[in-house]
Amino acid sequence: MVPIIATVLAALAALLHVYIFVMESIQWTQPRIYKRFGVPDQATADATKPLAYNQGFYNLFLAIGATLGLVLFWAGDAGSAAGIAGRALVLFSLASMAAASLVLLSTGVKHLRAALVQGTLPLVGFVLFLFA
């Protein structure tokens, strides 16, 4: 049962990071999006668009890593190369997501909610994957 719950949490974390990618890399200059990130106006959103675009792809790559890891994890037996590689990739991707949320939190307490949204699923998924 633990592997299934860990997989669901890892998959949800990956989906969340794909959504963050869409917001940062595709929708960044839309007022409802940039305001969500605390950007005050269109001029600032336009000026920060290249940074958001780049950051969005980081989130996408983490999501791809977690997804590929899940595929490998379930494709092989626990001791097989695929199973071991899959577990390692999922753990690395989830740890990176959780660490990124801590970095966000380090920029100020005003980012606590966003850090919790970004980091809770990966952190719980990581702990469960250790026991999966």
Q: What is the pLDDT of residues 98-132, one digit of tens each?
A: 999 999 999 999 999 999 999 999 999 999 999 88
Its pTM stands at 0.93
How large is the average pLDDT for residues 41-52?
98
Q: What is the dihedral of CA 35, 39, 43, 44, to 10 degrees?
A: -160
- Tell me the C-alpha distance between 130 and 132, whole Å: 6
- The burial class, CB within 10 Å (0-12 / 13-18 / 19+), for 64 is middle
**What are the boundaries of each domain within the chain?**
2-20+49-131
What's the pLDDT score for residue 70?
Answer: 97
